Chain A
Amino acid sequence: MALSAAQPVLYNFASTAMVDPDVELMLRLKAGDDACFEQLVARYRTPVLSFLFRMVHNADLAEELAQETFLRVFRARRQYRPEAKFSTWLFRIASNLALNALRDGAWDRQHVSLEEAAESAGPAVPIADPALGIEEELMRRERARIVADAIQALPSKQRLAVLLHKYHDLDYTEIAGILGCSESALKSLLFRAYEKLRVRLAPLVSAGSLAKENSDGLPGNR
């Protein structure tokens, strides 16, 4: 399932380059300054890899897809037009690759759970915290596994929207551009996805919300 290439918001060429330094790097890369590619990789390596890792649930596959994402950016540099933020374009490429990999069953062939990945020497950031005791650490890992499974159980488009909204701080316009839908459709999609997560993670969520309410009363801060 490939996402639409629709770009609902067109940006002014000059102002986009001015506002988004990544666009400027991309334009220099387009003009032949190959060093800019390394800067873009350095800037987006971790976000893209994390996104793909959470999306496909497999460390090796995530690295392969991340590399392919950056190589596609390089290959497409001559056709690049600064019509949106660079990150929107980049994550659209990564999203399409992830969805294609999931559709083709690459995930099934190489499935490694997040727990296994965290315990292996793979690229997952070690979640062990020396400040925590063993029991707390084990509980934290268990919670991480439950959260990962709940996200993994979401339909791929909802999962994609949640990951981009929650972990990559993209605004609705950008996410809608990546998914190829309207902002209102995106909000509805996100609302349904968070509701599913709230239901699936109810035991952990209820415990957390009760503890928080007991500690500081009415929720709500900025």
Chain B
Amino acid sequence: MDCREIGERLMDWVAGRLDAPGWQQLQRHLAQCPGCSRSAAEMRALWQLLDELPAAEASAAFSARLLQRWEQERARRSFTGLAWLRPVAAIAATVLLAIWVGLRLPRPSIVATGPSPAGAASEDFLVVKDLAVLEEYDVLVNFEPLSVLPVAPPAAPDRMHPND
């Protein structure tokens, strides 16, 4: 074992990780080599000095906070465990929404004027539809600005229908 190999061996030596043959080999070298012996002494001093670096202990809040976050994870897991239900729930929600919208849509209001034959229902509806205009008929007839407008002469029936 030469001095170059000693450096890496010293890490194992101070950490107590050398096997018995390796330890004896190292000791023999250190006994004959003042340079490596000094390095070994410094390495051991360094190793002991590093022990003075403080460790850390968990605060009281650490465990409580971790437990809380863990419970949240577990709750989330329970929810994601029911993931197969999601498409079913989506379809059901869509159907319910469609039914609700269908019920809420405005329907055409039909004024019942008494029993009438089914064939005349559409004619009744047209009359009712124009009822508001008919109610304003008098106002339109007596509307003064309209009286100043030129009145077009009525077209002659023979000119409109030359072939009749």
A contact residues vs B (CB 8 Å cutoff): 34, 37, 41, 45-46, 49-50, 52-54, 59, 62-63, 66-67, 70-71, 74-75, 114, 118, 122-125, 127, 140, 143-144, 147-148, 151, 165-167, 169, 171, 187-188, 190-191, 194-195, 197-198, 201, 204-210, 212-213, 218-220, 222
Of B23, B45, B59, most buried by chain A (CB within 10 Å of CB) is B45
The reply to whether the CB of B11 lies closer than 8 angstroms to some CB of chain A is: yes
Instruction: Please determine whether A59 and B56 come into contact, CB atoms closer than 8 angstroms.
Output: yes
The reply to whether A201 and B46 contact each other, CB–CB distance below 8 Å, is yes
Contact A219-B56, Cβ < 8 Å, known A45-B62, A147-B49: no
Q: Is B129 an interface position by the 8 A CB rule? A: no
Instruction: Tell me the smallest distance from the CB of A131 to a CB of chain B, in Å.
Output: 15
Asked if B56 and A190 make an inter-chain contact with CB atoms under 8 angstroms apart, the answer reads no
- The answer for the CA separation of A130 and B148 in the assembled complex, in Å, is 117
Nearest 8 interchain pairs by C-beta: A208-B45, A53-B56, A209-B41, A209-B45, A50-B55, A123-B59, A219-B41, A50-B56
Main SS at interface, chain A: helix
Q: How far is the CA of A204 from the CA of B44 in the complex (A)?
A: 12
- Return chain A residues, CB-CB under 8 Å to B43: 194, 198
Task: Please tell me if the beta carbons of A144 and B62 are within 8 angstroms of each other in the complex.
Answer: no
The answer to whether B57 and A212 touch across the interface, beta carbons within 8 angstroms, is no
29 A-B residue contacts at CB 8 Å? Answer: A45-B63, A49-B58, A52-B56, A54-B55, A59-B56, A70-B70, A71-B69, A114-B53, A123-B57, A124-B55, A125-B55, A127-B54, A144-B53, A147-B49, A147-B50, A166-B47, A167-B53, A190-B11, A198-B43, A201-B46, A204-B45, A205-B45, A205-B46, A210-B41, A212-B41, A218-B37, A219-B37, A220-B13, A222-B23
Contact A67 B37, CB 8 Å, known A49-B57, A124-B57: no
Q: Could you say which of B25-33, B108-116, B156-164 contacts chain A?
A: B25-33
